[in-house]
Structure 1
Amino acid sequence: MQVLEARWRLFGHVLRRDRNIPANKAMLFYFSDYKRARGRPQTTLPITLNNDLKKLVATKLELTTQTDLDTLRLIAEDRPKWNALVAEKRKTAEAARSDDPASGRL
């Protein structure tokens, strides 16, 4: 759970920063229409974050287009909303883990 929460807090920090920093430029490049290489797709931060968002029941958020990135950027600028999103994500992950019998808990 700590990794998941740290990943989302870092992502919020990056979204609130200036758009000219390398991390934001990389996000813009990722969502541009460049041709990806053949083969197995790499597991990137946007893919991981999108998978996390899909698991949230209460929101319809995704991270697949530039518009989705801008929507998350607006949420990140409002810190109470962003912290609520991170907390909801953490609770969803904890609930899923406690419901999973293979989670390693006895």
Structure 2
Amino acid sequence: MQVLEARWRLFGHVLRRDRNISANKAMLFYFSDNKRARGRPQTTLPITLNNDLKKLVATKLELTTQTDLDTLRLIAEDRPKWNALVAEIRKTAEAARSDDPASASGRL
């Protein structure tokens, strides 16, 4: 769970930074209308973050378009809202992990 929370905290930090830094430019390029490469899709940070957001039942947030990125950017500007979102994502992931019998039986 530490990795998940750290990933979201770093993403919030990047969203609050100037749009001219390389990380924000890469996000803008990723969500532009460029064609994807053939073959199996790579697991990228936006895909991983979107999968985390899909697990949230209470919100209808996604990270698939430039508009979704701008919405998350607005939430990241308001730190209490962003911290609440990160906490909700962490709690959802913890609940899903505790419900998964495979993860419980794999521990020693």
Report the TM-score when normalising by structure 1.
0.96
Residues 2, 103 of structure 1: CA spacing in aligned structure 2 closer, same or farther, 3 A cutoff?
farther
- Deviation at 1:35? 1.3
CA contact (8 A) 1:97 1:103 kept: no
- Deviation at 1:13? 0.2
Q: Deviations over 1:1-41 (max 9, x none)?
A: 00000000000000000000000000000000011111111
Residues 93-102 or 46-55, more deviating: 93-102
Residues 24, 103 of structure 1: CA spacing in aligned structure 2 closer, same or farther, 3 A cutoff?
farther
1:96 is paired with a residue whose SS is: helix
CA contact (8 A) 1:61 1:68 kept: yes
Q: Distance in 1 between matches of 2:98 and 2:107?
A: 8
Q: Distance in 2 between matches of 1:35 and 1:95?
A: 36
Aligned length: 106
- Deviation at 1:103? 5.8
CA contact (8 A) 1:50 1:62 kept: yes
Which residues of 2 match residues 89-100 of structure 1 at below 5 A?
89-100=89-100
Q: Deviations over 1:60-94 (max 9, x none)?
A: 00000000000000000000000000000000011
- Deviation at 1:104? 2.8
Q: Post-superposition, which runs of at least 4 consecutive aligned residues in structure 1 deviate over 2 A?
A: 102-106
The root-mean-square deviation of aligned C-alpha atoms, in Å, is 1.2
Residues 103, 86 of structure 1: CA spacing in aligned structure 2 closer, same or farther, 3 A cutoff?
farther
Aligned sequence identity (%): 97
Report the TM-score when normalising by structure 2.
0.94
